[in-house]
Chain A
């Protein structure tokens, strides 16, 4: 107790000097007028204020990132929505309100904006291939629709970032995934000209292995993707299929794995879309401890007929997790499996 008092006395002395230097005469007078615990509290409050002021000097920059800056070519009504609701974080022009400007809030906001830009920066999206731009817009709409964006915590302080139902409808109408068929029309299904590759060049950069035999796994579902004109088939290993039959979802068991094979959708000449060129296979493999950093799932993608592992380095899995985040309640799984066990 004595030690505490002694040190608080030293602090008080220190503050008096500091206050005089800052010209805080009035404050000092009111502090001197206080006694005991109240004085200690007063000192702490002033201390916090000074620390707060000093903290303002530490300001990570939110300047323009490097690289060419080109926006997407989208109709004005679409751009307006993006600017109004998304650009505050996902562009070169951060819009901060006054309570964002003060540290420590500023530090949180600055780090959020940096992360937001790393994921999607609309100010540079025009430099990407058109297919990538379209994919980013679809992901944006889906993140909004599933309630993942804008972040709920961000909306607490910035309620005007909320996307209205009308705005979402405008974005969806512009994207119109099923308005046109695939551009490619051709002979249709499968190329048998390929040499049979059964093993990827190597594991995914995050260490997730290629899982051979996925084409012999049973079917969980299929999807018709109007956003990128592909057909997909999701298959599951034995553990995954047993979990579906045993009604264990949403907690997929250890060792459960899915493969999602993606083909270009082509017209077979009879008004039917069938799988054409094989584009990629993606895996999700459940190992709670090994993949604890990514929701318990190992994500991997192998591209093309030669199964090239996707991703420059292990950081690519942030893309996977970011996209799957809105379905966290479904254990990060988008697919609704066909029910099993009721048929014979």
Chain B
């Protein structure tokens, strides 16, 4: 829902407070997110976790992914007609994540290159 002018104002404000007023947070205090992409049989599912800092987000990742999949699968199973491909995709993601098959993505930074992604296989 952003507009260009709003973002420009925001970036100016951020630059003012962070740069000119010395508002830098220590690295371990900065609100952070972890974003991963888990392969499925017909594509991939992306999960994001927001934390009070990087360690918090990283530590919560396994339980947050499990809760998300529980919610989504519970909803899908209650719906009629059953979306069998959707359910299979969720189950594929659960299996792949449990096996440690996922890519780490940093999609929140304006990074040029391969679709703006910073992918590192774990």
The answer to whether A and B assemble together is no
